[in-house]
Structure 1
Amino acid sequence: MPFRDHRPETRTLLGAQLVFNIGFYAVVPFLAGAMGTEYGLGAAAIGLVLGARTFSQQGMFLLGGMLADRWGARRAILTGCLVRIVGYATLAAASDFALFLLGAVLTGAGGALFSPALESRLSHADRPAGTTGSGSERGSRRSVFVWLAITGEIGAVLGPVVGSFLLGWGFDAALTMGIGVFAAVTVLLWYLLPAEPEHLPPDREAGVPAAAPSAAGPRWACLRDRRFVVFCALAGMNMLAYNQLYFAVPIELSRRGLDGAWLGALFLLASVLTLLLQLPVSTAGLRMGPGRALAVGFVLEAGAFTLAAVTSMHPGTAPGSMAPLMGTVTVLILGHMLLTPTILSLIPSFVPVHGPASGRGAYYGLAATCGGIAVLAGNAVLGQLLDLTDRHSWWPGTPWVPLSALTLLAAAALPVVLRGHHSDTRPADPSAATGPAGRTR
C-alpha cells in the first residue's frame, strides 16, 4: 500500500521511527571513539559500556513489551523517548566510568520501551484511511512493516552523517542534538498520537485463528505458547545473520588483507540495497505467502554464508578480492529484506484476543529478546571458531558453516511451525498479521 494511503496515526508512527533512528545513529556509533579520545577511558571500560547498552536494550525488550501492554503503547512510546533523553543527558554530564555506564544503560532501556510498543501499535494502526479494513482488501496490500524498515534505514543512513558534522564541535554537541531530537519526537507524539481505543479491534475479520486465552493473562501468554517460543527462537536466526555485518564481515575483511575503509563501502551497499529494493522484495514476499517467504529468505542468508565460506582466506595470505564479500552482503541483505517484514507481520496471528490490551507488546518484545539472545550466544561461538580456525589452520571457511546450518534449519522448520496455525497460501496480512525492521533503535 502506498505510504500516503496509510492512516495519519500510522504515518506519525513511521515518522517517529525515522527521527528516533536519526537521533540514535547520530550519537551511539561515535560513543566508543569519544570515550577513548575525549575522556581517556580504556578499551575494557569502553567495551563494558557498549555491551551494557546492547544488553539493557535487547534483554529488556520483553519487559518493555509487557509494560506497553500494561500502560498502553502510547504511554510506553513516550516514556521510552523520555528515558533516552535522560540517558543522553547522563552521557553529556559524564566524566567517569560510572556515569558513562549509567547513561548507556538508560539509552538502551529507552529503546526497549519504545520499539515493542511502536511495533505493537503499528500492527493495530495498519488500515488505509477511509476503509474498514476488510480481509480481502488487506490481504492484497503491502505490510506496514515494510515502510518501518525503509524509514528506519533512512534514519540509520542520515544519523551518522549528522553526527559526523556535529563532532566538529565535540561529542557534547552530538548529544545535545540527540536530546533535542528526542524531545521534539516526544512533544509531537504527545499531540499527534491518539490514545488507545478502549477495545482494540479483533483480528477475526482477517481469518486469522486466535490462540486460546492463557490463564496467566496476556502479558505472560507469549511465554506459555510453545509454538510461538519456537517461532521466536527460529526467527531469531535472522537477527543473528544480520548482525554479522557488524561482527564477522569486518573480521573477514581483515583476514583477506583488505583496508578497513572498505567496511564503510559495505555498510553503504547494505543501506542502498534496502532503500532501493525493500518495496519490490516485499511485493515478491507477499506473492509467495509467509511460509515460502520465510523459507526463501533463510535460504538466501544461508547462501550468503556459504559464499563467504568457500571464498574465505587465512590471515596473512595474499590480499583477496572485495567481490566475494560484496556478493555476501548483497545476498544477505536480500534475505533480510524478505524475512524481517514477514516475521513481524506474523506475530499478531499468535496473539490471543484479551480485550483492551491484547498482549501484542509482550509478543513483539519476546521476539526481539530471542533475537538478542541468538546474537549473544551465536557471536560467542563464532568468535571462538574464528580464533580456533586461525590458531590451528583449519579450513578458513569453518566459522561460517554453523551460520549456514542454522539458517537452513530455520528455512526448513519455520514453515512447519506455521502449518496449521497460519495459512501458508495466504499472503501475510499487515493488520492482523502485519522490519535488528530496518535497524530499529
Structure 2
Amino acid sequence: MLHHDFRNTGSSMKVLLFSILLAHLGYYMILPILPIYLKLNKALNVAEIGLILAAGSFSFQAASVVGGVLADRIGRRTIIALGAVIRGAGFAGYALFQPFWALMAMALLNGLGGGFNAPATKAAIAALASDTEKKTTAFSLRGIAANIGTSLAGLLAYFVLGGSSPLIFYVSAGLFVFLAVISWYYIPKNCGEKPCPIIPAKSYSQIVRNKAFVVFSLISVLIWALYTQLALAIPLRAAAILPDPSIVSLIWTINSIIAILLQAPVSAWLLNKIQPMYALALGIVFIGAGISSLYWSRNFYGLAASGATFIIGEMLIMPTMDSTVSRLATAQMIGVFFGLANFISGLGEGAGNYTGGLLLSFGIRSPIPWAVYAVSSVVIIVLLVALRFWLPMRMAMGDHQHSNLNEKGGVE
C-alpha cells in the first residue's frame, strides 16, 4: 500500500512530497475562485478571463523548457525555490492590481514561476524512483500529496478566508514563499547526490529523434486542453446557477478527498497492471463524462457529481502521464524531458482555456460547448488506443518483448 511506501521513502522524497502539498494548497486556493474573482471584483468579461488564464498557461509552457534545462544544469533545489518565489509574487499581484494589462502581467509571472517549479520537482521525484513500478508508486504518492493540499485549499478558502476575498491571494503568496524556504534548506543542492553533469548541446537532438515522445506529446496537447476545461467551466456554471458561486471551491475539496481515499487502490489494482495508453484512454472516458455532464447540473450537488466523475479520470491520467514521460526520457536529461512535458501541458491548457472561453461564450446553458467536449473525448480515446499499438511506442515502453512472445505462441 502507498502509506507503507511513504514510510520507506527517504527524507528528500518526503520534503518533495510536502512541497507538492504546499504548492497545491497555495494554487488551489486561487484556481476555483479566480474566474469568479476576475468577473466580480475586476469586472472582466468571459473572453478577457479566458485570455488571462491562457496567458498563464502559455507562460508556464515557455518557462517549463527553461526550467527543465536549468534544473539539469545548476540543480533542482535552486529552480524549485526560485519558481515558488516568482509564483507567490504573481498571486499577490492579482489582489494588488486592477487594470486588465496588469492582471495579464501577473498571469504571465504566475506561469513563469510554475514553469520553473514543476519540471524540477518531477525530475527530482523520478530520479529518486529507480524502476518502473517505483516511478508509478512515486507519482501516485505525489498525487496523494497534491490532493491533500487541494482538499485543504477548498476548506481554507471557503470557511476561513471568505470565498473570493483578496486575502486569499496574499495567503497563497505566503505559502509559496514558505515553500521556497523549506526547499532551499532541505532539498539537495545538486542533481541528487552528485554534481549536475555537463550536457553537450548536440545531446538535445535526441529529443527530436525520440518518435514515441514526440507523438505522445502531440496527443498530450489534446489531453491537457480537455483536462483544463473543468477549472473554467465549473466556476462559470456555478455563477450561472448558484446564489453563492464561491461555494464551488468545496468541489475541489470533495474531489481531493475522493482522490486521497482512492488513489492507493487505483494505483495498486489498476495502474500497475494495465498498459499506460489504456489507462489514459480510460481516464479520458471519466474526464469527458465529468465535463460534459455539467450541462445537466442544476444545483451544487449536480456540480459535485460531475466533479467526482472527473476526479476518477484525473487519478488515472496524472500518475500515468508522469511515469510515461519518465520511461520515455533519458536519465541524463530527465529535467529537460519533464520541462518539455510541462511545455506541452501548458500549450494544451492555454489552448483549452482560450477555446473553452470561446465555446462558453455561446452561453452556459447552450448545448454546444458540452457536445464539443464529449466529441473531443471520443477523438482522444481513439488516438490513445491507436498509439498503444504503434511500434515505436511499444518499443519505447518495452511492449515489443511481449509481442515477440505472442508471435512465437506465447501469451501477452
Same fold by TM-score greater than 0.5: yes
The size of the alignment, in residue pairs, is 392
Which structure's residues are more often helix, by fraction?
Answer: 2
| Correspondence 1:149 to 2:127 | no
CA distance in structure 1 between the partners assigned to 2:280 and 2:56 by the alignment: 29
- Give the 3-state SS of the residue equivalent to 1:288 in structure 2: coil
Compared with structure 1, are the counterparts of its residues 322 and 96 closer, same or farther at alpha carbon in structure 2 (3 Å cutoff)? closer
Deviations 1:123-166 (Å, cap 9, x if unpaired)?
Answer: 1123xxxxxx6x5xx74785211011111112122123323356
Question: Equivalent pairs: percent with the same residue?
Answer: 26
2:136 pairs with 1:162? no
SS class of match (1:405): helix
Compared CA separation, residues 371 and 49, structure 1 to 2 (3 A): closer
1:322 CA displacement = 9.2
TM-score (norm 2): 0.77
* Cα drift, residue 37 of structure 1: 5.1
For residues 246 and 145 of structure 1, the distance between their equivalents in structure 2, rounded to whole angstroms, comes to 22
**Partner of 2:58 in structure 1?**
55
* SS across alignment from 2:202: coil
Query: Relative to structure 1, is the Cα distance of residues 325 and 34 closer, same or farther in structure 2, using a 3 angstrom cutoff?
Result: closer
Distance 2:242 2:92 in 1: 38
- Aligned residue for 2:333? 359
Aligned to 1:182: 176
Corresponding position of 1:298 = 281
Cα RMSD (Å): 4.1
- 1:328-367 equivalent positions in 2, closer than 5 A: 329-353=307-331, 358-367=332-341
Letter in structure 2 aligned against 1:9: S
| Alignment partner of 1:25 out of 10, 16, 28 | 28
Match of 1:413 among 375, 379, 387: 387
Query: Is 1:65 paired with 2:68?
Result: yes
**1:309-341 CA distances to partner (integer Å, 9 max, x unpaired)?**
7x797x9xxx87999977765554333312221
Equivalence map 1:79-94=2 (5 Å): 79-94=82-97
Residues 53-108 of structure 1 deviation map (CA, whole Å, 9 limit, x = unaligned): 23322343222222222322111101112212333454454354444333332122
Rounded Cα–Cα distance in structure 1 between residues aligned with 2:186 and 2:366 = 59
How far apart are 1:7 and its partner, in Å? 0.8
- Report 1:12-411 matches (<5 A): 12-35=15-38, 40-43=42-45, 46-126=49-129, 139=133, 143-165=137-159, 167-168=161-162, 171-196=165-190, 197-198=193-194, 216-218=202-204, 221-247=206-232, 267-289=252-274, 292-302=275-285, 305=288, 329-353=307-331, 358-377=332-351, 397=371, 399-411=373-385
Tell which deviates more after alignment, 338-347 or 297-306.
297-306
Contact 2:63 2:112 in 1 (8 A): yes
The CA deviation at 1:114 is 0.5
The answer to whether the 8 Å contact 1:124/1:200 transfers is: no
Distance 2:304 2:170 in 1: 36
SS in 2 for 1:6: coil
Distance 1:75 1:383, change over 3 A: closer
Conservation of the 8 A alpha-carbon contact between 2:36 and 2:164: no
Provide the TM-score with structure 1 as the length reference: 0.73
Question: Is 1:153–1:271's contact at 8 Å kept on the other side of the alignment?
Answer: yes
Distance 1:23 1:41, change over 3 A: same
| Aligned CA distance change for structure 1 residues 350 and 301 (closer, same or farther; 3 Å) | closer
Residues 223 and 37 (structure 1), Cα distance of their counterparts in 2 relative to 1, 3 Å cut: same
Q: What letter is aligned with 1:226?
A: K
Q: 1:234 is aligned with what amino acid?
A: I
Tell me the secondary structure at the aligned position of residue 188 of structure 1: helix
Deviations 1:269-312 (A, max 9, x none): 532321211111111234424xx243143135236646987x79
Which whole-Å deviations, capped at 9, do the CAs of 1:5-49 have from their partners, x for residues lacking one? 1111000000011112212223454445555555x5443655544
Secondary structure of the 2:188 match is coil
Cα distance in structure 2, aligned partners of 1:223 and 1:189: 32
Q: How many angstroms apart in 1 are the aligned matches of 2:164 and 2:377? A: 40
Compared CA separation, residues 424 and 325, structure 1 to 2 (3 A): farther
Rounded to whole Å, the distance in 2 between the matches of 1:114 and 1:62 is 11
